[in-house]
Amino acid sequence: MSADRRQERRLALVQILEAEGLDALLVTGLSNIRYLTGFSGSAAFAVVTHSDLLLVTDFRYEEQARAEVGGIARVEIERSSVWERLFQEMSTLGPLSTVGFESHVLTVRDGERLTAAGKPWRWKPAGELIERLRVRKSPEEIASIRVAAALARAALRETLVTVRAGQSERLIAGVLEGHLRRLGSEAHPFPTIVASGPRTAWPHARTSLRPVAAGDWLLLDFGAQVDGYCADISRTVVVGARASERQRVMYDLVRTAQLRAREGLRAGMTGREADALARDVIEARGFGEAFGHSLGHGIGLEVHEAPRLAKTNGDALPQDAVVTVEPGIYLSGQGGVRIEDDVHLVEDGAELLSDGETELLELT
């Protein structure tokens, strides 16, 4: 049985509240609520004070909330106005002066509810306090991501053996998503991307009804989720023919850049330095303009988290972050290649959590 880290997380957050001069924090981000309480529903508020943790949700989640949260927080269920119940229960949490709120999550409309409530608390935008904690993954979190990545690998293998020229992108995506579910993925962390031919030059193409032609690139970007934690994988293959010389050159360049990044990454280097590991390789061959996104991003309870492996990020990458490594080259009208794996950053390197099997596949 894995360790329950929720009390440890709450106490770490309390230290941040003290440092920020906050008596409490109103938590509205669902991933942050899950991180603190274990509740995985789609509607709730949590309030953290120096001594209490409160969860307020509605009737739909009464049994689920009590089962998932257990004794880690006080659970209150409301059948009419959850906002009114929130303010009512906050009044029982002792004297509160300054209460932070997640300004990066709360909508303008809900922010107006805070000021219109007529309560004595002073509301203060708090920013991403819980995300500071989430960036460093525990052994249990890393294990869940590793299992999700293995599940994704298995689903991809079962899908690729059935791929043929003439099939639509959407059919292939459906087969892949079916295998992901059958093998145990809780959800699809983001809309699966299956793009073919010149559409592979669209880094975040929407999967379409386009039939895959013989000799096309086929780019698959997909994820799996286990215990709430995400894996994020991309592979690019050639369908129905042997790769052309031009395709091999392009693929080998992206693969070389990805391997250099995987081998050079480590905790403590900056996001900018990490990005340069792959970008320098691609720029040296004259394709710098065709690599328009960053090298990678953090993953965890959300598929896009801190830290960023980007040329705009001068901050050090923390130990025990889990990040993607996904360089790509995209040539308008011709197609693109992206190769993506998930790694765990440690002091002396990066531990692969996905399979790292990036040899060019030709599905003939």
Separation of CA 188 from chain center? 11
Tokens at residue 89, please?
Answer: 């229960």
Strand partners, 55: 46, 75
Quick one: angle between helices 245-264 and 271-284, nearest 10? 150
- Cβ atoms of residues 338 and 236 within 8 Å: yes
Residue 286: the pLDDT is: 96
Residue 115: the pLDDT is: 87
* Torsion (CA) 316, 138, 37, 190 in degrees, nearest 10: 70
Per-residue pLDDT of the chain (364 residues), as tens digits, is 478 999 999 999 999 999 999 999 999 999 999 999 999 999 999 999 999 999 999 999 999 999 999 999 999 999 989 999 999 999 999 899 999 999 999 999 999 999 888 888 999 999 899 999 999 999 999 999 999 999 999 999 999 999 999 999 999 999 999 999 999 999 999 999 999 999 999 999 999 999 999 999 999 999 999 999 999 999 999 999 999 999 999 999 999 999 999 999 999 999 999 999 999 999 999 999 999 999 999 999 999 999 999 999 999 999 999 999 999 999 999 999 999 999 999 989 999 999 999 999 999 9
- Taken in order of first residue, the domains within the chain and their CATH numbers are 6-133 (3.40.350.10), 139-363 (3.90.230.10)
Phi, psi for 130 (deg, rounded to 5): -70, -35
Tokens at residue 161, please?
Answer: 């053996």
Strand partners, 193: 221
Residue 263: the pLDDT is: 97
Residue 227: the pLDDT is: 96
- Cβ atoms of residues 57 and 41 within 8 Å: yes
Residue 119: the pLDDT is: 85
Tokens at residue 245, please?
Answer: 């010389």
Residue 249: the pLDDT is: 97
| One-letter identity of residue 274 | A
Residue 362: the pLDDT is: 98
Question: How would you classify residue 339: left for phi > 0, otherwise alpha for psi between -120 and 50, otherwise beta?
Answer: beta
Residue 248: the pLDDT is: 98
Q: How far apart are CA 221 and CA 207, in angstroms?
A: 10
Listed in sequence order, the DSSP H helices in 127-266 are: 129-134, 139-160, 169-183, 245-264
Residue 229: the pLDDT is: 98
Residue whose structure tokens are 């998930």? 342
